[in-house]
Structure 1
Amino acid sequence: MLILQRRKGQALSINHNITLTVVDAGTDWVKLAIDAPKEIPILRTELKEAAAENQKASATASRQVLEEILKKR
Structure 2
Amino acid sequence: MLVLKRKNGEAIQIGDDIELTILAIEGDQVKLGIRAPRQVDIHRKEVYLAIQEENTEASRSTGLIGQLLKQQEK
TM-score, structure 1 as length reference = 0.72
Which whole-Å CA distance do the structure 1 matches of 2:51 and 2:19 have between them?
A: 26
Q: Is residue 42 from structure 1 mapped to residue 52 from structure 2 by the alignment?
A: no
Farther-moved stretch of structure 1 (54-63 vs 1-10): 54-63
Q: What does 1:16-55 correspond to in 2, within 5 Å?
A: 16-55=16-55
Which whole-Å CA distance do the structure 2 matches of 1:12 and 1:26 have between them?
A: 19
1:12 alignment partner in structure 2: 12
| Displacement of 1:42 | 1.0
RMSD: 1.6
Which whole-Å CA distance do the structure 1 matches of 2:42 and 2:52 have between them?
A: 15
Alignment-mate amino acid for residue 16 of structure 1 = D
Aligned residues with identical type, % of pairs: 35
State the aligned residue count: 63
Residue 31 of structure 1 aligns to a residue in which SS? strand
TM-score, structure 2 as length reference = 0.71
